[in-house]
Amino acid sequence: MKRNSTLASLCIALLTVSGCASSSESSTPSETPVDSELNKSSEESRATPTPSPSPSPSKNIRGNLEKDLGETAGFLSYSGDTTAVFQVKDFVRNVKCTEPYSEKPENGELVALKISAKTEPSLAEDINGSITFDPIMWKYIDSDGKTFNGDLGTISTYSCWAEKKIISSQIGPGEKVEGWVLLDVPASDGLLVYTLDTVSGWEYDLSKFPDKAK
């Protein structure tokens, strides 16, 4: 699987769930996730480049948006168009490998996230023209709040399951995809953050996810 090391200039991230709060301005026109719908408030926010004096109340102390299974998130382009939406639909801990040449986890344990994503034609207008959920886009934070420095995308994550089960590493405009992301983590009771190579991202608390293996 091909890794994409940076998406820093791709888009403004947007949480698109029903009933969420109105948006607050981000300090820079970056991929910082914003808890908002496509409403008048968010349009005014994008039209005014003045930094917000305080963090969005929807973000936690790490500047991330906390997410659960099945919640929808997405991206906005600089022009305000929705370019993609995605969901983490399922989670598996203690993954059992099926391939004959699979490798053991190097960090401790393999976990899997099932992701469903849809991209819009407007994604073609962004600089990279695609999105990815490759392991390099994720980081792990343990239950004590310490960020793991290792690589979550070890050989075991690429050799464990058949390639057809793994979500495409590059998702272009106008696509609908669904597949799994395998991550080699120290433990399965911490936090996973989809960071998009930025300071802020979407945060998943693994301790709250169903306890099942596959």
User: 137-192: per-residue pLDDT in tens?
Assistant: 999 999 899 999 999 999 999 999 999 999 999 999 999 999 999 999 999 999 99
SS3 46: helix
- Could you tell me the pTM of the whole model? 0.74
* Beta-bridge partner residues of 177: 117
Extract the tokens encoding 178.
């669904």
Confidence bin at 72 (pLDDT 50/70/90): very high
Residue 94 clears pLDDT 90, i.e. is over it? yes
- Provide the mean pLDDT of the chain: 77
CA distance 20 to 41: 12
CA distance 47 to 80: 10
Q: Which CATH architecture has domain 12-208?
A: Sandwich (2.60)
What pLDDT was estimated at residue 214? Answer: 54
User: Which has more confidence, 16 or 158?
Assistant: 158
Structural element, H or E, at residue 101: none
Q: For residue 214, which of 68, 97, 69, 88 has the smallest C-alpha distance?
A: 97
